[in-house]
Structure 1
């Protein structure tokens, strides 16, 4: 019967960014043709939407923050976030074509390395920027006088540069390990992770090196791309909440709403990806076919969700910005500007704290 037809799928080659298991033959998984095809077309659809919305939305944010608005700490943060997302979504057509060609990579080894590296660069740069933005907001609330005297666009630009350098350093292994391999039997070229710099699948030494490097890559990505940043952001928000409660002050609703939503959406979108990445290491040590099938099926879905995050921020800025409906009536430009502006929020305190309040609540959106 057609429904019982299965195909062998090498578990680490479905996409330039999926890292599921390793390239040796013992890690090949069996998927129904219908399910494999459905996952492939779903990925193509999500990638295409992310490309169209991401390049357009983030391009608009870059234009507004970089050329239309006064340079502030807020615009520096959001400009860099938009640049990270724009670069990644701009190269998404490579992944779309690769997936549409049933995972036949026609672009050569250099673009194979670059495409995967940009995906991880986007991950690290975005999460580091969100952590820095949270720290900036925390300092403004907890140490308002210091923040008022030292919080400058120049300092924000220097911090952003450091973020980019750190993110690039952490994604350089992908430039080294990503490679292409020709499968003459199927007449296709795969873009995959060659952690051992070898195609030998029988030598135990090569297998051990490949497994060790794979574990290190996943561990570093999970630790620095998710666990530590998320923990720091929770600490920053806890400190802010404690300070505001002690001072009997209220959150500035617009800046907090925009910032908190961007952070939450980012981690919701990337959490499944990181969990599947950890499971991809675990399945090397467990002979559990159901777990392997779960990882193989879940990975394209988790990857698609992570990629889709790159097109969401511009829409969050607009819909959560100040006076969205009124701004939208005037223009999209003013809607973005209201989201990025640094406003002095209203105070619910009548005890002569005007200087402190102004400094504490003059936050980024």
Structure 2
């Protein structure tokens, strides 16, 4: 029997009122905070900076803000779904919305991972970093990231269907895997590529950065260490629940009997809240830009984002001549945080009109 026809046993979001309410709350917070924040970042870079002054970090931050902003534009679909317990928009929008959402979420995570590698090289291999940090190269890498995200999101388009619950009469937009092996492949791929590998790289990069920063003046080093620890914690808090639910769903497809039923109920109960929590990762970066910018908001007003990426050379740049030569972009951005590790006098996102 085709499991896609058994929608009463397949309902993901309608089985747990608590998860649905939590999902609505998280999605509303993400939209209210993240939409204006990310569009402000986009506006600042595109309209408050001269094109010739947009550095590598500016290009990365702009792409990250676009990816996060597009994801957050889709929140009304999910909020209405959870509110009315019914998918109102048809099969084409079901597939399209989830595909676009996945593309931008993959791209966001990959861009954040690239930023982590970039910062690690800038701190630990400054000469090499300076030699390879070229705009044309980062544009090619970003093109590859968006293409990879588009391909990796194909399962979201292929497997999503609008199913009807024969008892409640509700329509549900959810993945429909005709065989357990497809579900195992789908969610394992998503978790490994979008969490395990990026998190391993991010953790490795910031561990190397922390080791390198041990010799910086105690006051600055201590503050940076706390912020980097917060970076890792935010990444885990916002994304781990979603991928735990993925792995529970994989386990339910590998198990049988009562165990499979219990695992199935567990992932159904947690999916809505965990997915909505992951949306917060797209909204929190602009908040932390504000936090890291400090007094620049008072002195620069709406231009503070531009000033945020400018700065005056301090910290590591004062320690070695090689790092003094790195007058380019020393911003750390990961899911949940943005931190200036070293400030630069000549580069960054400067060039206010």
Aligned to 1:54: 34
Corresponding position: 1:345 with 2:328: no
Aligned to 1:215: 184
Corresponding position: 1:188 with 2:170: yes
Aligned to 2:77: 94
Aligned to 2:287: 315
Q: 1:76 aligns with which of 40, 59, 81?
A: 59
User: What do residues 20-72 of structure 1 show as CA deviations (whole Å, max 9, x unaligned)?
Assistant: x97746846899x9x94343233223222222222211111111122213301
User: How many pairs align?
Assistant: 322
Comparing both chains, which one has the higher relative contact order based on Cα–Cα distances under 8 Å and sequence gaps of 6 or more? 2
Verify the 8 A CA contact 1:55 1:311 in the aligned structure 2.
yes
Alpha-carbon distance between aligned partners in 1 of 2:228 and 2:59, rounded to the nearest angstrom: 14
Where structure 1 has 5 or more consecutive residues not aligned to the other structure, the ranges are 1-20, 197-209
CA RMSD across the alignment: 3.2
Task: Report the CA distance between 1:129 and its aligned residue.
Answer: 0.9
SS in 1 for 2:161: strand
For residues 324-363 of structure 1, the aligned pairs below 5 Å read 324=294, 326-341=295-310, 343-347=312-316, 353-359=320-326, 363=330
Verify the 8 A CA contact 1:257 1:320 in the aligned structure 2.
no
For residues 135-174 of structure 1, the aligned pairs below 5 Å read 135-174=117-156
Alpha-carbon distance between aligned partners in 2 of 1:100 and 1:61, rounded to the nearest angstrom: 30
Say if 1:63 and 1:272 are closer, same or farther in 2 by CA, change over 3 A: same
Say if 1:61 and 1:361 are closer, same or farther in 2 by CA, change over 3 A: closer
Verify the 8 A CA contact 2:297 2:304 in the aligned structure 1.
yes
Where structure 2 has 5 or more consecutive residues not aligned to the other structure, the ranges are 332-339, 341-353
Task: Report the CA distance between 1:276 and its aligned residue.
Answer: 1.0
Task: Report the CA distance between 1:339 and its aligned residue.
Answer: 3.2
Say if 1:195 and 1:292 are closer, same or farther in 2 by CA, change over 3 A: closer
Task: Report the CA distance between 1:362 and its aligned residue.
Answer: 5.4
Task: Report the CA distance between 1:155 and its aligned residue.
Answer: 2.3
Q: 2:108 aligns with which of 120, 126, 143?
A: 126
